[in-house]
């Protein structure tokens, strides 16, 4: 019954967000906008949609060095692809667990360690986008003609930026405390797990120790610096994808104006709906209309196209990798759910 209840909540949330995204859309105009896309730039979007798998894999290597120095590049790319595929197909952001578990199995890395590296990734993703958003908000008053957004949109961005920084800072402080006060943290975890059976408690403590070991990355200043640089590479390349999309639909905006837009889509994508449906779409439309001053029907068309390309490219690559290895998507889902329990 609890599982059914969770499914109903997710479906209800998805339906509400899709409604707000699609309401008042004139679908004839939406279709006309889609038909008028610049075909060469449209085709460029497909390789751009896959490029972040490679930049993310390149960045991930720096987190894995303390555990294994010779992690192969292709399994890291494949882990990112299958992780995003699971996220697109199933609700609950389960791909965030599948990604490290897949790599741990392929490369002989401890599960808890691999999961710890993904937590670090997400923190740096938030910090990177919050930093870029902060730069944008600082530059906007100096170049009002170039970055023309309304006061209401600026207030909304400032609010979400503060939330993002606060959340990322709190999470960073927590994992640093776990790492630098490892034994005390494990003692606290063991105390909290006392009501559980001995076998479960021992297993969870082992995973906790592996997870904390996955934070060894913070001891290397050179690795930390390089990882920070590569985090900007990852997100600047993602922004380039969206900038190309706007050009394909003949919406000409400064590249840096896409920073707050991408920040909003990241907020929407964090809502755990199947395939990021609804949340990603609503926040994308909100960003296009309030930040880029795009016609609402054009915003709907652009959002549908960019979302469809991301899902199609990811799932095609994901199914190709899984077919090559003889693994089904439901096996990956089961693996992630068993670890989540």
Better-predicted residue by pLDDT, 168 or 148: 168
The predicted pLDDT at position 157 comes to 66
Q: Is the pLDDT of residue 260 over 80?
A: yes
CB 288 within 8 A of CB 302: yes
Residue 190 burial (CB < 10 Å; 0-12/13-18/19+)? middle
The predicted pLDDT at position 148 comes to 62
The predicted pLDDT at position 236 comes to 93
- Which among 280, 225, 198 is positioned nearest to 13, based on CA atoms? 280
The per-residue b/e assignment along 282-306, b for 16 or more CB within 10 angstroms, e otherwise, is: bbbbbbbbbbbebbbbbbbbbbbbb
Better-predicted residue by pLDDT, 292 or 47: 47
Q: Is residue 11 part of a domain?
A: no
- What are 225-241's pLDDT values in tens digits? 888 899 999 999 999 99
Q: Is residue 50 part of a domain?
A: yes
- What are 84-109's pLDDT values in tens digits? 998 888 877 788 888 999 999 889 88
| Portion of the chain with pLDDT greater than 70, in percent | 87
Q: Is the pLDDT of residue 48 over 60?
A: yes
Domain residues for the domain of 45 are 25-340
Q: Is residue 155 part of a domain?
A: yes
- What are 192-203's pLDDT values in tens digits? 777 777 777 777
pTM, two decimal places? 0.81
The secondary element (H helix, E strand) that includes residue 249 is: none
Q: Is residue 281 part of a domain?
A: yes
Q: Per the structure, how many domains does the chain have?
A: 1
Q: Is the pLDDT of residue 132 over 80?
A: yes
302: tokens are 């652009």
Q: Is residue 18 part of a domain?
A: no
- Which among 235, 232, 259 is positioned nearest to 246, based on CA atoms? 259
């Amino acid at each position: 019954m609890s599982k059914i209840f969770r499914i109903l909540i997710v479906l209800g949330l998805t339906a509400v967000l899709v409604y707000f995204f699609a309401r008042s859309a004139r679908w004839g105009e939406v279709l006309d906008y889609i038909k008028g896309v610049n075909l060469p730039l449209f085709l460029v979007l497909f390789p751009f949609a896959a490029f972040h798998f490679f930049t993310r894999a390149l960045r991930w290597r720096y987190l894995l060095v303390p555990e294994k120095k010779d992690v192969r590049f292709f399994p890291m790319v494949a882990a990112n692809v299958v992780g995003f595929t699971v996220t697109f197909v199933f609700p609950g952001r389960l791909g965030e667990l599948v990604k490290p578990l897949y790599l741990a199995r392929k490369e002989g890395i401890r599960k808890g360690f691999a999961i710890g590296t993904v937590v670090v990734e997400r923190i740096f993703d938030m910090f990177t986008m919050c930093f870029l958003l902060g730069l944008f908000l600082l530059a906007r008053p100096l170049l009002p003609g170039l970055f023309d957004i309304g006061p209401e949109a600026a207030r909304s961005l400032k609010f979400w930026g503060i939330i993002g920084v606060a959340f990322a800072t709190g999470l960073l402080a927590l994992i640093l405390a776990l790492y630098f006060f490892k034994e005390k943290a494990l003692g606290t975890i063991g105390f909290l797990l006392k009501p559980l059976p001995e076998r479960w408690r021992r297993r969870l403590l082992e995973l906790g120790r592996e997870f904390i070991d996955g934070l060894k990355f913070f001891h290397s200043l050179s690795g930390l610096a390089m990882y920070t640089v590569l985090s900007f590479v990852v997100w600047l390349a993602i922004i380039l994808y969206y900038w190309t999309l706007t050009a394909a639909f003949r919406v000409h905006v400064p590249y840096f104006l896409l920073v707050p837009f991408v920040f909003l889509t990241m907020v929407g994508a964090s809502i755990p709906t199947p395939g990021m449906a609804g949340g990603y779409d609503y926040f994308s439309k909100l960003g296009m209309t309030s930040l880029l001053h795009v016609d609402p029907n054009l915003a709907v068309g652009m959002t549908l196209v960019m979302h469809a390309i991301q899902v199609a490219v990811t799932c095609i690559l994901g199914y190709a990798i899984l077919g090559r290895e003889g693994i089904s998507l439901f096996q990956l889902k089961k693996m992630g759910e068993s670890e989540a329990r």
